[in-house]
């Protein structure tokens, strides 16, 4: 089963993805984690990524798409992909469709965790203290949220027409969100 989780930064996608990985014996495909791994490697791509992240910008689709391709085509991960924060733009959504089509896969469920800006700011402030992430300062949070809303509106429109699209109130407690997702999965 392949699943997309999307929502603004701090909506809880990562928490739900980790749960689904255990529940479905899947693989979390977090573009954030993939990008942070490139930064750790201190590669040329990693340097471009850190500049974009620190400015509150999204990393270019070209970079993200090329990094993602190796996961989609990995035979050990086929039909076990939990996309956490990807796609973030319409071109990424269309790229994902192409990659899945080329690898004979589909998306079984799309979950949109809808959370308002004020709640996101509070959550990310807490996450910064707990996880000590460098990209979690207030200015960056606000830029990332605004960029998210601007670039993902077309993605929301693109997916919301699908019968496997489910919008979930991301302000609920973690267990409540998990239960909602389980209800749609029938597992």
pLDDT in tens, 7-47: 887 788 889 999 999 999 999 998 878 888 888 998 888 88
**Domains of the chain, CATH where assigned:** 3-185 (3.40.50.300)
pLDDT at residue 107, as a whole number: 96
Top pLDDT among 53 and 20 is at 20
Residue 134: pLDDT over 70? no
Residue 126: pLDDT over 80? no
Residue 151: pLDDT over 70? yes
User: Is residue 9 a contact partner of residue 19, using CB atoms and an 8 Å limit?
Assistant: no
Indicate the average pLDDT of the chain.
87
- 134-149 per-residue burial string, b: 16 or more CB within 10 A, e: under 16: ebbeeebbeebbebbe
Mean pLDDT of 133-160: 79
Top pLDDT among 136 and 15 is at 15
Mean pLDDT of 64-84: 93
Cβ burial, residue 41 (10 Å; 0-12/13-18/19+): exposed
- The pTM for the full model equals 0.82
* Most confident of the following: 15-29, 82-96, 107-121: 15-29
Top pLDDT among 140 and 158 is at 158
Task: Print the SS3 string covering 9-47.
Answer: CCCCHHHHHHHHHHHHCCEEEEHHHHHHHHHHHCCHHHH
Cα–Cα distance measured from residue 179 to residue 187, given in angstroms and rounded to the nearest whole number: 11
pLDDT at residue 161, as a whole number: 93
pLDDT at residue 55, as a whole number: 79
Instruction: Kindly state the tokens that stand for 155.
Output: 């993605």
Residue 67: pLDDT over 60? yes
Q: Could you tell me what percent of the chain has a pLDDT over 70?
A: 94
User: Beta strands of 67-175 (E only): which ranges?
Assistant: 81-84, 109-114, 165-169
């Amino acid at each position: 089963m392949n699943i997309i989780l999307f929502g603004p930064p701090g909506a809880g996608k990562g928490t739900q993805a980790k749960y689904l990985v255990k529940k479905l014996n899947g693989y979390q495909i977090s573009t954030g984690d993939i990008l942070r791994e490139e930064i750790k490697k201190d590669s040329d791509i990693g340097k471009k990524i850190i500049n974009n992240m620190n400015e509150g910008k999204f990393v270019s689709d070209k970079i993200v798409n090329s990094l993602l391709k190796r996961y989609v085509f990995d035979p050990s991960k086929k039909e076990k992909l939990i996309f956490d924060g990807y796609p973030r733009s319409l071109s990424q959504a269309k790229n994902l469709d192409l990659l899945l089509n080329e690898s004979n896969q589909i998306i079984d469920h799309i979950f949109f965790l809808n959370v308002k800006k004020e709640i996101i700011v509070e959550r990310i402030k807490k996450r910064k203290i707990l996880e000590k992430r460098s990209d979690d300062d207030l200015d960056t949070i606000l830029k990332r949220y605004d960029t998210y809303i601007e670039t993902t509106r077309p993605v929301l429109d693109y997916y919301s027409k699908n019968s496997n699209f489910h919008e979930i109130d991301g302000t609920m407690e973690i267990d409540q969100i998990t239960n909602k997702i389980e209800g749609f999965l029938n597992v």
